[in-house]
Amino acid sequence: MISGSTSSISGRFNLVIDAQKTVVVTGIGVVSPYGIGLSCLQAGMLAGQCCLAPATEMYPGFQGTVAPVRALPALHDGHHYSRSDRLAMVAARDAVVDIAGSCSTFRESGIVMASTVAGLTEIDPEISRGPAAWYRHGGLSRAASYSVSRVAASVEEYLGLQGPGCAVSVACASGTTAVVLAANMLLDEAAPMVLAGGSDALCPFTLSGFNSLQALDADACRPFDQSRKGLNLGEGAAVLVLETLAHATRRGARIMAVLRGWAMTNDAFHPTAPQKNGIGLASCIQRSLEMAECSIEEVGYVNAHGTGTPLNDIAETHAYERAFHGRSRPIPVSSTKSYFGHCLGAAGALEAAITIMAMRAGVLFPTLRLTDPIESDQVDWLRGELRRQPLPVAMSVSAGFGGSNAALVFGSYRA
């Protein structure tokens, strides 16, 4: 065990830190509707800028509101990449820009990438009229990027990574789940570093699917508002570089946050609807806090799943009331999906990045357009102005179709 006497993780000041079993975040790459990079995302969110726009601008014939990434670089290396692949590759490159050339073990890094859309962006309905003909007329290489595994493999090949890797698809909890699996891989010493994230692109398939479920708000979404009507879809990618504290310290890495706890649960309730009483998500939050050895009083902020659908937001409110029951003051909660929509498999990773960004900047981002919040005396709905305060411990939670829940607890780190 390595003594942590000269380092401190918020909430663990008096504990000896096992640096081999402490997972830290040392890099973050982001592609969001604000552009490429965490600073771009931060500037946009600090300014309260909303990226939502009418869907018809990008997808003629589709009603509703979306948040597209407008300037995604082309990647010309002879391969056909899906849009989800490209988002992932650019975010991963952004995450490792300071690491790739300076870390001798970088190529041994593992990767866990989440996606739900993956290569669906490359398929069109004509395939159903005759797959062979569609392949012969240019569809063959496009269809090769169909599998979710291609998102992880594209990043692997692009960065020359040779460690263990996989893709994760757990609906809207995918991005958070990817971080959980990556953290476990580090505990297993499966790789010196693991890139973990999510990537999903907008496409007609998902727009149509959520539209068929009547889950879309035609206007800009209003998470946790009494008048909420549904979600807006966005697109983007985020990649976190995870490594053990021991490895990060050895190579002199900049430690952005400590991943103190994580957990996954399932509602086992309904294929699409969350459990209204929020038990499954509450259990997930409680387990992650137990792992983090963190009390409910210590958590300064929760970046919520907060889709803006009537069912999700009430279930989530009940989950917070249950998980933080007995806390001396309401738990501050916001949904940053109000800025650039729901990025599906990328959402959890993007929100993990935003949570770390909030901790580092000492800023609690409000939910936009939240004027008449769901009544709860145990939740402090962040709305209106930015709130500035030290934030040593914060959480990011996700939930998805199929009942999956995932939660991450981050702590700040002082060398």
Catalytic residues: 172, 305, 342
Q: How near is the Cβ of 207 to another protein at its closest, in Å?
A: 7
Q: Which stretch binds another protein (CB under 8 A): 164-172, 217-225, 244-252, 309-317?
A: 164-172
Decide if residue 311 touches another protein (CB under 8 A). Answer: no
Nearer residue to another protein within complex by CB, 61 or 101: 61
Q: How near is the Cβ of 66 to another protein at its closest, in Å?
A: 14
Decide if residue 135 touches another protein (CB under 8 A). Answer: yes
Distance CA 327, CA 285 (A): 14
| Contact pick of 70, 254, 270, 276 for another protein (by CB under 8 A) | 270
DSSP-assigned states of every residue in 114-161: E-SSGGGGG--GGGGG-HHHHIIIIIHHHHTT-STHHHHHHHHHHHT-
Angle at 400 between CA 394 and CA 406, to 5 degrees: 35
- 72 residue type, one letter: L
Q: 28 and 238 in contact (C-beta within 8 Å)?
A: yes
Q: Which two tokens stand for residue 236?
A: 């983007």
Give the residue from 55, 59, 87 showing the smallest Cα distance to 230.
55
| Contact pick of 34, 210, 320, 339 for another protein (by CB under 8 A) | 210
Nearer residue to another protein within complex by CB, 19 or 123: 123
* Number of residues located near another protein, criterion CB under 8 A: 75
| Contact pick of 129, 252, 375, 385 for another protein (by CB under 8 A) | 129
Decide if residue 401 touches another protein (CB under 8 A). Answer: yes
Nearer residue to another protein within complex by CB, 252 or 271: 271
Q: How near is the Cβ of 409 to another protein at its closest, in Å?
A: 14
Identify the three-state secondary structure at position 242: strand
Identify the three-state secondary structure at position 250: helix
Give the residue from 100, 95, 285 showing the smallest Cα distance to 199.
95
Decide if residue 57 touches another protein (CB under 8 A). Answer: no
Q: How near is the Cβ of 291 to another protein at its closest, in Å?
A: 8
Q: 315 and 275 in contact (C-beta within 8 Å)?
A: yes
